[in-house]
Structure 1
Amino acid sequence: MAPAAEIIPIEPARVMPAKGTNDPRAKNRRCRPLASGPFHFFHFSPLKNFLTTGVALLALSGTAWAQGPVSGTILDARTGTPLPGATVLLDGAAVAAASDGSFTLPAVAAGAHELRITFVGYEPLVSRVLGQEAPQQLRLTLQPGGILTGEALVTASRANERTATAYTNVSKQALAKRNFGQDLPYLLDQTPSVVVNSDAGAGVGYTDIRIRGTSNTGINMTINGVPLNDAESHGSFLVNLPDLSSSISSLQVQRGVGTSQNGGAAFGASINISTLESRQEAYAETQNTFGSFNTWKNNVSFGTGLLGKHFTVDGRLSRIATDGYMNRASSDLKSYYLSAGYQAKNTLLKFITFSGREKTYQAWNGVPEPAITGDQKLLQQYIDNGELSEADAQRVRQEGRRYSYYTYDNQTDNYQQNHYQLHLSQGLDQDWNIGAALHLTRGFGYYESYRARRKFVDYGLEDVVIGGQTITRTNLVDRKWLDNYFYGGTFALNYQPKDNDKLQATLGGAWNQFTNDHYGEVIWAQYASNSNIRQRYYFNDALKTDYNAYARATWQVLPKLGVYGDVQVRQIKYDINGVEDDQNDVTTRARYTFINPKAGATFTLSEGQQLYASYAVGQREPVRSDFTDRPSGDQSAKPERLDDYEGGYRLSLPNTNWLGSNTAVRFEANYFYMNYRNQLVATGQLNDVGTALRTNVARSYRTGLELTGFASADDKISLSSTLTLSRNQILNYRDVIYDADYNPVIASEARTTTVSYSPSVISAHTLEGQPLSGLRVALLYKTVSRQYLDNSTSEDRRIKPYQVLDFRVRYALHPVFVKEIELGLLVNNVLNRRYVANGYTYGYPGADGQQQTFNWYFPQATRNFLASVGVKF
């Protein structure tokens, strides 16, 4: 996190040279430049010019620099561990250290300069740097003793090089590069094993992320150590927190089970978010974006810096709006973030509140397959089966892949979520500190839908008699409400001896409770029958209590061998009372106790090279829909268990002389084998509000290899790539089909099939260059192989492979009247591919008795752009 300590004059501290070309702690990272340069405009419409630009980057990178860069790594003087987010000030202009503690000042003019490093919980460091043409590499160490860090609670659940698991740290600067207003999943699109999609097609509104084929219901998400996942559905609905990315100070993605987390178990990955940054200097910033589909983003951020040596206040206001790529798929999103903190030498107390309000036109229904493919025979079948009017039939023919079924002007999802957190970090002595938090999340909102020809009896109403005619159906508008509270507390007690960095330990846990009312109201009906205003036609409430405790330790047994152990105990009580919208009694009583052990080891081959291996158990309870979307009284949904085996190799060469350049190279190969028992997998169908229906499968597994590489030369040009190759299989699976009366029939033949929504190949590549000071140009390429919509491995029910190329340019100016003006442009889907990234399927018996299948897809936007202007005061 960024520092919040007062800068005080001290004697110049030692600036140590890098330990050598293989020092893993002195990584060369890219940071935003401090000097401006001439503005260049690239005309990039044709693919030919894109390729020409890429070649030009390579050519310019060797000649454009007249001043040498200064790079380095900031470390804890006791332990040698990196200090991510430390502030680096050169003559008063600031950059922040990356998640591995590295920083780069791309152009340092000739002469002497003051270099000042600050970090919360450490004494500031002040020294002098002489600008020169040759690149300089520094190793800077800070002594503990300043104000206590505010991330004691967050870092307690984060992985590091000692925990023998697969993880990716994403810095604030890396998020800012991609942040043009799209949701957080799109900002993580280039991280390993990630697949993203958007209901509205352009990355704003309802979006989803899958990691290793696991949807966000299997991805544990926390903000400052507080669970974000909905306690009932396990989903993380980031549409409720628009522009959250602008307030993130650091983020870590762990793949697999990972370390013990608060909240639901990680069944594919975890995303650990921190917003606890405290900036020492006062600031004001604004980011403004306009783009395709009438997309707008406007935000204002501010901070007081350190007031009276102890107090800080930071805030943000944001609005994002878009019409969406899909027709009638608009979003209107508003949010705020506010924090106020008090800090002393051994104490940090911070209150944080953030909130989001969203109104999105419902686009979860998707597009019928023939509207995309143009198959007129199948399209007519869709029209006939849906009993579409002539006007609606004409619409689907005209709108094609951008078709939206709904036309009611307020067919919208309306939801507000308010978060309140109180964090305390307290140093107990030189070896111990504790982090604790109290939290409250308040959520409320509704879907509003127009329903045609609904039976009165389904809404608890009487038939209407007019004259001698009995009317049994009516057109109506209803609202399905959620009204919930989530509250509790978390803690982490951390032990790290000052005089012995071989042992580190944490004892942590949480107690959380969730209450939620689900109910529906009729707000209009063509025939009112015996209804009242806001006629309530169903109601059920839920109460879920979740508490856990965990203990974790790392021990450096030998100079090259370290071991890691972690065990978590988690207990859940879950009760539902009442009926669902179909008048099905969903009363549920569920109790679970899980014990989740984890262990691992690391072995250092040489400076910058490491082998690691780990074993971890994850267990979690079914989600709400696994109970409520089954027949009345059916509570047969079973909890899932995952045995996760991970092993890999890491290489880090932060400062090598290759072809005359100061080159940084990183590489990681990670093998995983995730063995499931009773995994709940998507059937390919949705319920009436777009939630995927799931079923337990007795035995299944995911296994694969993740390759990640990064190389940069003098911070002029860099290439990062990730490739995942995997197999995702269900053993002895039996298909479910439907007879003529729509009753489910389980196929008698058992076979091995591929898990739905699980591509076998995922890759992401980013080529970025800085041909001129202040100008950064990047090409981003993503590939995803074939995915199946259900577990039948049927070629008729699949998402075709796709490849997407994006182009990004950012240019920073430093005029005298403001600190910085940054101009940005993001062109998505440069090659104008027509692809789909998500979908669902439904099987039913045809007139000839044969099983029929119909697919719906979510098309993604063709070529589109987002242009931004950011100002820092």
Structure 2
Amino acid sequence: MKKLLFVFQLLFVALLSQAQFVISGKVTDVDGNKLAGANVQLEHSPKGTVTDLQGCYQLEVNKIGNYTLTASFLGFTKLQETVEVTKNLELNFTLTAKSILADEIIVKSTRADANTPVTFSLLSKKDFVNQNLGQDLPYLLSMTPSLVTSSDAGAGVGYTGLWIRGSNIQRINVTVNGIPLNDPESHGVFWVNMPDFTSSVNSLQIQRGVGTSTNGGGAFGATINLETNTLETKPFAEINSVAGSFNTFKNNIRVGTGLINDKWAFEGRLSKISSDGYIDRASSDLKSFFVQGGFYSDKTMVKAVVFSGKEKTYQAWWGVDNWTIENLGRTFNWAGYIENSDGSFRFYDNQTDNYQQDHYQLHLSQKLGEYLKFNAALHYTYGRGYYEEYNQNDSLKNYPIGEQFFGYDSVLNNGVYAYFYHDTVAISDIIVRRWLDNHFYGTTYSLDYTSEKLNLNVGGAINNYANAKHFGEILWAQYVGNTTIEDNYYNNIAEKLDINNYIKATYAILANVYLFGDLQVRMVDYFCSGNEKGGAMAAIDKNYLFLNPKVGISYKNNFLGTVYASYALSNREPIRTDFLDAPENTDPEPETLRDIEFGARKNDKSYNYNINFFFMKYTNQLALTGELNDVGSPIRANVGKSYRLGIEIDGGYEIKNTFTIKGNIALSNSNTNYKEESETGIANYNNVQLSYAPQLIGGLQINYLPFRNTELGISYRYISKQYLDLTENDERILDPYSYTNLHANYTFKPKYLDEIKINIMVNNLFNQLYASNGYMWGDTPYYYPQAGINFMAGVTIKF
């Protein structure tokens, strides 16, 4: 590390000796109005800036030469200018309002803007395109504040997860183009079902805390709002190929027509990702496609979006305990384990997870006047798949097979025959498939009014999760009884209706003082009927009505930036497994969060910062107990009063347009009371930390552009100790860990091609051996080890 820092110091000294030139100016519309927040980008470089409240910008370059700058602003046509720089130069941009309705209007109603009093991070495609080498989206977000990632297979391909402010994905609201992505029953998001989706993402916004009203389940940790690719006016074709450690390969192709007859545009992507994984047999075979097409005019946009993902992964969610690590190695995988009669063992070849999910979206955006816009969407998602497993010595009472009796006999006793069996078989090896087949459809809408002082948004959604079939099939058993192949051993069906409506407004009560209000009404009707494994009834019939208000205020000026404060209340219903895993004759309660946030943020010419304090107070929080159920889902339970309290700081600084330093740190504390009931009695744990809640999360990124079209970067991440359950037992923890990644990219333009870009990544540079996730099985902690040093390299060719 000392050598690395020494190299950066030498490069910095060399940089100081170079000449510096400043390109500065203003960005305005055709009427001379200043466009605050407009983007000014130096072409063929990651360097760019945004205009201040006066519409002014400033960029530094360190060489004499020709430079191309592009200015852009939502709702305006991009403008590109090429200038020769031999001295400090003034370059002003005058942007013209687009004659085509912008795609960004689709997500406007569910996103925060510069005046919204919530804490958020906004990332565009350029922020993650160079690291998009096949790993799932959580890994591309790993350097954002308060965020922790993990991979079952250990290397970011396959099943991955993320936590924000200690909340897992079940408590994070995720939307794609304003349409809910979370599974309505589990509230989970399975990124493995959307391989390479990042290649079709134009931008995303993470709102931490409750955030503003959106569609789908209430946010208790954060919201992630994804926007798919927007209109590209020029035709394009692109091929991307990646190879890396653990036989990891990614290949995709993207094509687009550009704007046809100034009205129509179409694009598509086809992707394939495969990997053996770091963990033994943790293979992934992933396929996906993305297609969209639309009609664009000055007042109307109609856009259809279709994307699908299909995955086959060998199970890697079992984890390893300390005995396994010491005796069999940290990459040992218990999934599919079969012990032979002589004490040796083998593995079942098809212990795999198989799932396909198809998404269909149809969007309409209509400009109704100078200040008013209307959006509506129809959507449908079809998901189906199963996981297959070999269960050795499983109890036959869990199946309709039941105990088997052999050797029917009788004995004469005092003149009376007594009948009996010589042998009773209560266990058997058995192969099963556990299926999920579901349909999710609905509509979303929003009406946006924007004037000089008032931004008003009315929106909502009606979504129905219908005919969701959960069932298990018996494929084979040593003792079959009266069953046949593919007989169901459990079968239940679920439906869930989710209706929400909201109204939110930002009003300028004084110059640069904005008052914010947001009110959401959400109604949920959830029904489930049938039986689970072992014959237990799966009977749920619940109705909920939630009122979720939010208020806040923000103050904005050139010196301080934006200072804000907000209060939000959010409610959410229990999920399917909360009911099924609850103690007999008890039902889980809905949970409530009261979230107070206050902070400041500023984007200046060469630096930016965000600082945010939060206090999140829960009632009936459904906290992770650290245990898993029989399908590997985390078990949650209502706990007593609990809270999270913390501060998040992130920022960046650009040094002479060549060095960029970014960093973030989150310090937090959590507290709850937990009552654990077991066969041995009741144990009370008071004033303990919440599970999976590190008190310190920090990161640092340094990017350096040694010369044009070349970028070098290093990033560092640290996660402090985490408890695996609610007992605050130091023998049940994830140890603190850190990792360092390197990346480099080089872009050049050969003859007859638009561009060739080469990307190289070195993950976990110092080969740290750590586990990023775990769970408790009884009194034994299990861990998910992550890969040591590994590599990925890719090339992108644009035509």
Q: Would the TM-score normalized by the shorter structure come out above 0.5?
A: yes
Q: Are positions 1:705 and 2:647 aligned together?
A: yes
For the structure 1 residues 116 and 178, does the alpha-carbon distance in structure 2 shift closer, same or farther, using more than 3 Å as the test?
closer
Query: Does residue 1:767 correspond to 2:683, yes or no?
Result: no
Partner of 1:412: 352
SS of residue in 2 equivalent to 1:757: coil
Deviation of 1:415 (Å) = 0.4
Partner of 1:27: none
Residue 564 of structure 2 corresponds to residue 612 of structure 1:
yes
1:80 is matched with: 35
* Residues 1:54 and 2:8 aligned together: yes
Q: Structure 2: how far apart are the matches of 1:105 and 1:146?
A: 32
| Post-superposition offset of 1:315 | 0.7
Cα distance, 1:746–1:338 mapped onto 2, change above 3 Å: same
Question: 1:99 touches 1:170 (CA, 8 Å); kept in 2?
Answer: no
CA drift at 1:714: 3.1
User: By how many angstroms is 1:690 displaced?
Assistant: 1.1
In the other structure, the counterpart of 1:182 is: 135
Aligned equivalents of 1:411, 1:104: Cα separation in 2 = 55
Residue 250 (structure 1) aligned to one of 189, 203, 217: 203
* Whole-Å separation in 2 of the counterparts to 1:235 and 1:510: 19
Conserved? CA contact 1:61–1:769, under 8 Å: no
| Within-5 A mapping of 1:141-152 | 141-152=94-105
Please list the CA deviations of residues 649-691 of structure 1 after superposition, one character each: whole Å capped at 9, or x if unmatched. Answer: 223321xxxxxxxxx0112210000011010101110011210
**C-alpha deviation, 1:436, in angstroms:** 1.0
The residue identity in structure 1 corresponding to 2:674 is Y
SS of 1:734's equivalent in the other structure is: strand
Contact 2:60 2:656 in 1 (8 A): no
Q: Does 1:323 align with 2:270?
A: no
CA contact (8 A) 1:608 1:653 kept: no
Give 2:687's aligned residue: 752
**Structure 2 counterpart of 1:527:** 479
Residue 790 of structure 2 is aligned to residue 864 of structure 1: yes
CA distance in 1, matches of 2:21, 2:448: 41
Is the Cα–Cα contact under 8 Å of residues 595 and 614 in structure 2 kept in the other structure? Answer: yes
2:764 paired residue number: 829
Partner of 1:365 in structure 2?
318
2:573 corresponds to = 621
Q: 2:745 aligns with which of 802, 807, 810?
A: 810
Please show how residues 124-135 of structure 1 align to structure 2 within 5 Å.
Answer: 125=79, 128-134=81-87
Matched, 1:482 2:436: yes
| 2:38/2:71 contact within 8 Å kept | no
Q: Read off the aligned partner of 2:624 and give its amino acid letter.
A: A
**Number of the residue aligned with 2:618:** 676
More displaced, 365-374 or 215-224? 365-374
Q: 2:582 aligns with which of 619, 623, 630?
A: 630
Instruction: State whether structure 2 residue 545 is matched by structure 1 residue 580.
Output: no
Task: Report if aligned partners of 2:338, 2:348 keep a CA contact under 8 Å in 1.
Answer: no
Paired residues for 1:303-318 under 5 Å: 303-318=256-271
Structure 2 counterpart of 1:696, one-letter code: N
What SS does the aligned partner of 2:626 have?
strand
Contact 1:821 1:870 in 2 (8 A): yes
Matches within 5 A, 1:269-348: 269-348=222-301
Is the contact made by 1:69 and 1:714 (CA closer than 8 Å) also made in structure 2? no
Q: CA 1:50–1:392 in structure 2 vs 1: closer, same or farther (change >3 Å)?
A: farther
Q: Which SS does the other structure have where 1:698 is aligned? A: coil
Give the CA deviation at 1:857. 0.3
Residue of structure 2 in register with 1:600 after alignment: 552
Alignment-derived partner of residue 799 in structure 1: 734
CA pair 238-676 structure 1, distance change in 2 beyond 3 A: same
The match for 2:401 among 461, 467, 470 is 461
Q: Normalising to structure 2: TM-score of the pair?
A: 0.91
Report the counterpart of residue 496 of structure 1 in structure 2.
450
CA spacing shift, 1:372–1:470, aligned 2, 3 Å: closer
- Whether the aligned pair in 1 keeps the contact of 2:158 and 2:313 (CA below 8 Å) is yes
Query: SS of the residue aligned with 1:796?
Result: coil
Alignment of 1:198-237 (within 5 A): 198-237=151-190
Q: For residues 720 and 656 of structure 2, what CA distance do their matches in structure 1 show?
A: 34
1:717 is matched with which residue: 653, 659, 662? 659
Alignment-mate amino acid for residue 716 of structure 1: T
Percentage identity across aligned positions?
Answer: 40
1:432 aligned partner: 372
- The verdict on how the C-alpha distance between 1:699 and 1:116 changes in structure 2, with shifts beyond 3 A counting, is closer
Number of residue pairs matched by the alignment: 774
Residue 563 of structure 1 is matched in structure 2 by 515
> In 2, Cα distance between the equivalents of 1:819 and 1:107?
25
> What is the aligned counterpart of 1:734 among 675, 693, 710?
675
User: Could you give the per-residue CA deviations for residues 73-96 of structure 1, whole angstroms, max 9, x where no partner exists?
Assistant: 867776735356x9x797xx8999
| Pick aligned residue for 1:688 from 608, 630, 636 | 630
User: How far off its partner does 1:502 sit?
Assistant: 1.6
Q: Which residue of the partner structure matches residue 32 of structure 1?
A: none
Contact 1:546–1:570 (Cα < 8 Å) also in 2: yes
Structure 2 gaps of 5+ residues are 409-422
What is the CA-CA distance between 1:733 and the residue it aligns to?
Answer: 2.8
Q: Distance in 2 between matches of 1:451 and 1:540?
A: 22
| TM-score calculated relative to the size of structure 1 | 0.84
SS at 1:371 equivalent:
helix
Greater strand share, structure number: 2
Query: How far is 1:463 from its partner?
Result: 4.4
Counterparts in 2 of 1:553 and 1:581: CA distance versus 1, 3 Å: same
Q: What displacement does 1:456 show?
A: 3.2
How many angstroms does 1:371 deviate by? 2.4
CA deviation after TM superposition for structure 1 residue 622, in Å: 0.5
CA, structure 1 residues 75+213, in 2 after alignment: closer, same or farther (shift >3 Å)? farther
Q: Deviations over 1:564-586 (max 9, x none)?
A: 11110000000010111232101
CA distance in 1, matches of 2:8, 2:269: 36
- Are the equivalent residues in 1 in contact too, given 2:116–2:506 (CA < 8 A)? yes
- Mean CA deviation greater in 577-586 or 793-802: 577-586
**Aligned partner of residue 259 in structure 1, secondary structure:** coil
The answer to whether 1:240 aligns with 2:193 is yes
Q: Would the aligned equivalents of 2:397 and 2:534 in 1 still touch at CA under 8 Å?
A: no
**8 A contact 1:220–1:266 mirrored in 2:** yes
Task: Find the aligned partners of 1:197 and 1:114 in 2 and give their Cα distance.
Answer: 40
**2:465 is matched with which residue?**
514
1:820 aligns with 2:771: no
The offset of 1:69, in angstroms, is 7.4
Structure 2 CA distance for partners of 1:544 and 1:62, relative to 1, 3 Å? same
Note the C-alpha offset of 1:207. Answer: 0.6
Q: CA deviation at 1:288?
A: 1.1
Q: CA deviation at 1:68?
A: 5.6
Task: Structure 1: state its 5+ residue gaps.
Answer: 1-46, 377-381, 396-405, 655-663, 740-744, 844-852
**Separation in structure 1 between the aligned mates of residue 782 and residue 685 of structure 2, nearest angstrom:** 27
Q: Contact between 1:720 and 1:767, CA under 8 Å: does it hold in 2?
A: yes
Match in the other structure for 1:400: none
After TM superposition, give the deviation of residue 71 of structure 1 in Å.
7.2
CA deviation string 1:790-842 (max 9, x = no partner): 01111010000011111111111111221111111111111111111100113
2:127 aligns to what SS in structure 1?
Answer: helix
> 1:868–1:391: structure 2 CA closer, same or farther, 3 Å change rule?
farther
Tell me how far 1:555 sits from its aligned partner. Answer: 0.8
Q: Could you tell me which amino acid in structure 1 is paired with residue 286 of structure 2?
A: L
Is contact 2:685–2:727 with CA below 8 Å preserved after alignment?
no
- What is the alpha-carbon distance in structure 2 between the residues aligned to residue 133 and residue 371 of structure 1? 65
Q: Is the 8 A contact 2:366 2:373 kept in 1?
A: yes
Provide, for residues 347-379 of structure 1, a one-character-per-residue CA deviation record: whole Å limited to 9, x for no partner. Answer: 111000000001111111101122235699xxx
Residue 842 of structure 1 corresponds to which residue in structure 2?
A: 777
Picking from 643, 649, 652, the partner of 2:600 is 649
Q: Within 2, Cα distance between the matches of 1:272 and 1:562?
A: 23
Question: Hey, what's the Cα distance between the residues in 2 that align with 1:773 and 1:471?
Answer: 74
Q: 1:130: how far off? A: 2.6
**Pairwise CA RMSD of aligned residues?**
2.8
Residues 50 and 604, structure 2, Cα contact 8 Å, conserved in 1: no
Q: Is the 8 A contact 1:151 1:425 kept in 2?
A: no
